[in-house]
Structure 1
Amino acid sequence: MAILKQMGAGPHHDWAVRGTEIRIGSVTVDAAAHQGEGDTIVDVYVKPDGSYALQGPGAFAANITIRGRSYREEPGADNQGHPGMARIPEPLDANAVEITLWSKP
């Protein structure tokens, strides 16, 4: 499961994790789809009307930090058949995703 940090005294926004999908309020973030070569931060906002969105304006509901893609090397060949090493991307480790939850406004 993801690493969870709670900021402030609370109460905090509702959240759930299922595999690499993270739900904050009514917004679901597929962490695997956002994973890149370096760390990626996805911000979830709560708007003044109480709705949740991935873009502001609004107060932070959560910050989701997704670690950069890792690779393993396997023997392979290049386009011309010369031996070499192929870099194979590893699946996202859901345990390495960090969720920072903010107190409700």
Structure 2
Amino acid sequence: MAILKQMGAGPHHEWAVRGTEISIGNVTVDAAAHQGEGDTIIDVYVRPDGSYALMGPGAFAANITIRGRRERKEPGMNDKGHPTTARVPEPLDADAVEITIWPKP
């Protein structure tokens, strides 16, 4: 399960986690699709009209931090019979996602 931090007293924006998808209001972010070599931070904003978006202007509704991809090394052989090592990416670890939810303005 993702790590959840709620800032301030609230009330907070609605959120949900389903697999690797994180929903804040009507915005859904696929954390696995955004995972890269290093940490990735995705900001979700609430606009003055109450809609949610991945770009401002607006107040923060949430910050989603996705930790960098982990890899494992697998030994193998190349076509000439020489030993090789392949780097195989691990699936997204749910514990590697942190969601910070901000109070509603």
TM > 0.5: yes
Alpha carbons 1:77, 1:86 under 8 Å: kept? no
Gaps of 5+ in 2: none
Question: Alpha-carbon deviation of 1:83?
Answer: 1.5
Match of 2:45 in 1: 45
Match of 1:22 in 2: 22
Is the aligned partner of 1:88 residue 2:88? yes
Superposed CA RMSD: 1.2
How many residue pairs end up in the alignment?
A: 105
CA distance in 1, matches of 2:60, 2:97: 18
Match of 1:71 in 2: 71
TM-score by length of 1: 0.95
CA distance in 2, matches of 1:97, 1:61: 16
Gaps of 5+ in 1: none
**1:17-64 per-position Cα deviation (integer Å, ceiling 9, x unaligned):** 001100000000000000000000000000000000000010000000
**How high is the sequence identity, in percent, across the aligned residues?**
82
> What SS is found at the alignment partner of 1:5?
strand
